[in-house]
Chains A and B, each alone.
Chain A
Amino acid sequence: MTLLQADNLNLSFGGLQVLHDISFSVDDGEIFAIIGPNGAGKTSILNCLGGFYLQDHGTIRLDGQDISSLSPDRRAAMGMARTFQNIALFRGMTVLDNIKLGAHSYLQTGLLAAAFYWGSAHREEMRLRAEIEDKIIDFLEIEHIRKQPVSALAYGLQKRVELARALAMRPRVLLMDEPVAGMNAEETEDMARFILDIQEEWGITIIIIEHDIHMVMDISNRVMVVNFGQEITTGTPESVQSHPEVIKAYLGTKQAVAAGNS
């Protein structure tokens, strides 16, 4: 069943055409990867999906509903969560507060209730804390840092906190922009395991942009290759790897792929 559908996305800045008729659909519960060289427009696709950029034309549907012109916060409330290429945590907050922030959309407390911390506001905060502790902090193994300010954390841990924050949004679709960029082999492996668990145990659909080609091919159900803002091919990791244009445009030579697979 299709959960997210993008049709003919076009985006340009000034005279520069960044996306050119990008179309794809993502099935419920799959891991869908977007790969391509630097500047191919991958992050721009995520930005369009999340609502940070507004495409010039084209439509985006989430679960059949047209969300093409909704603001980012509305899309977030509908279940679009996002992690960023350059870590975008809130540096003035602790790990716990960062994660709690992810839950913003489905919390109810208003300004007045917050000021008085009335019963309902208090109960809501306690429920939230319990939920985060049980489900997210435990799952991502970050108990030991929950009270620390995020700015003091190592890079790999910051990435993990970012993922935790995205999970706290109770997402249906998780957009991940280079989740393992800059990580060492061990951290990469951890992150890949988390991503697979999120798909299997949480049933969350994941759209991922990544340069680490091994990881992408290992974990994705389907892969879309883009270059110069255009789709080159979409398919299973195996079929994509053998596509002649992909080999030419992105992977370089056949040997490189072979080496990659060995």
Chain B
Amino acid sequence: MNIFLILLTSGIAVGGIYALIALGFVLIYKATSIINFATGEFMMIGAYIFYTFTVMLGWPAIPAFIMVMAGAALLGMLVEFSILRHMLGQPTISIVMVTIGLSSILTGFAEIIWSSDFKSFPPLFPRSPIILGDVIIRSNLFWGFVVAMVTVALFAVFFKYSKIGIAMRATAGDQMASYSMGINVRTMFTTAWALGAIAASLGGLIIGNIGGVQPNLGSIGLKIFPVVILGGLDSIGGAVLGGFIVGILENIAGGYLDPYFNGGVKDVVPFIILVVILMVKPYGLFGRREIERL
């Protein structure tokens, strides 16, 4: 079996999931300019909601899935309404820290409610691995990838064609102009938080299905930063591209280099690439520099 091909395919699969999580970040950043460090914790909460409904309450998967989305949307709106609304016009450091504080609150509550024990979901997909030519992929990873890509595609369609989607894009482009066009910017902020939380929570659900849930599941959320910097913050396509780049590179680097470093290469490679990219292009591969005015 070809090692490279295996690493590449699993890299693509992981990258697709990263893309979904990064989308959860980008939706909020684009609409509100808020750097949400709690994206990972939204994932974690999404996974726990699914766990609660399927395992603790015995619901079937589909209704539980809907509850995850509803719960995440509610959480996103609540956070925007109760905290971020008061932070308008504050310096970046304050906004970054408020979302970091939020992530700490969510992690703590998750541990109080669900304990720090490892939880796993009931099997959702057929157990047997997927065989694609020479390559074998774990079933959960494969289906996770499929769900992530479908979700991302649905989001893309939503933004392209729905009225709310167009209004949100307009708001992201120019807040004042959108305001004067009769778009309620406040509502757009809340909607962005709801949608961002939904995207993140679905990402968490997928990750939870692959590797189980723990309160610190959110730390995977840090990976979105290399993803968004590499892909650019401007589009869904960028998030997908960045997700794939990071997923593929970290898998291949991890696969080949881990033996020399006793593991852990996967977690650091995205950040090394990130530093190199930022040295050369300070606004990311596809980022644009804003023209500043005096």
Complex Cα distance, B294 from A88, in Å, reads 8
- A250 interfacial by beta-carbon distance below 8 Å: no
Q: Is the interface of B mostly helix, strand, loop or mixed?
A: loop
- B131 interfacial by beta-carbon distance below 8 Å: no
Contacts of A52 in B (CB 8 A): 294
- B291 interfacial by beta-carbon distance below 8 Å: yes
Q: When each residue 49-65 of chain A gets 1 if its CB lies under 8 Å from chain B and 0 otherwise, what string results?
A: 00010000000000000
Q: Is the CB of A85 within 8 A of B294?
A: yes
Q: Is the CB of A47 within 8 A of B291?
A: no
Q: When each residue 38-80 of chain B gets 1 if its CB lies under 8 Å from chain A and 0 otherwise, what string results?
A: 0000000000000000000000000000000000000000000
Q: When each residue 74-96 of chain A gets 1 if its CB lies under 8 Å from chain B and 0 otherwise, what string results?
A: 00000000001110100000000
Chain A: interface residue total (CB-CB under 8 A): 9
Complex Cα distance, B207 from A241, in Å, reads 73
- A13 interfacial by beta-carbon distance below 8 Å: yes
- A43 interfacial by beta-carbon distance below 8 Å: yes
Contacts of B294 in A (CB 8 A): 43, 47, 52, 84-86, 88, 177
Q: When each residue 11-52 of chain A gets 1 if its CB lies under 8 Å from chain B and 0 otherwise, what string results?
A: 001000000000000000000000000000001000100001
Contacts of B291 in A (CB 8 A): 13
Closest Cβ–Cβ distance, residue A190 to chain B (whole Å): 24
Complex Cα distance, B294 from A86, in Å, reads 7
Closest Cβ–Cβ distance, residue A83 to chain B (whole Å): 11
Complex Cα distance, B294 from A47, in Å, reads 8
Complex Cα distance, B202 from A220, in Å, reads 66
Closest Cβ–Cβ distance, residue B291 to chain A (whole Å): 6
Contacts of A177 in B (CB 8 A): 294
Complex Cα distance, B291 from A13, in Å, reads 9
Cβ < 8 Å to B, chain A residues 144-201: 177
Cβ < 8 Å to A, chain B residues 272-294: 291, 294
Complex Cα distance, B292 from A121, in Å, reads 35
Complex Cα distance, B291 from A185, in Å, reads 35
Contacts of A86 in B (CB 8 A): 294
Nearest-CB residue, chain A, relative to B291: A13
Closest Cβ–Cβ distance, residue B24 to chain A (whole Å): 32
List 9 A–B pairs whose Cβ atoms lie within 8 Å, in order of A's numbering.
Answer: A13-B291, A43-B294, A47-B294, A52-B294, A84-B294, A85-B294, A86-B294, A88-B294, A177-B294
Pick the 8 closest A-B CB pairs, nearest first. A84-B294, A13-B291, A52-B294, A47-B294, A43-B294, A88-B294, A85-B294, A86-B294
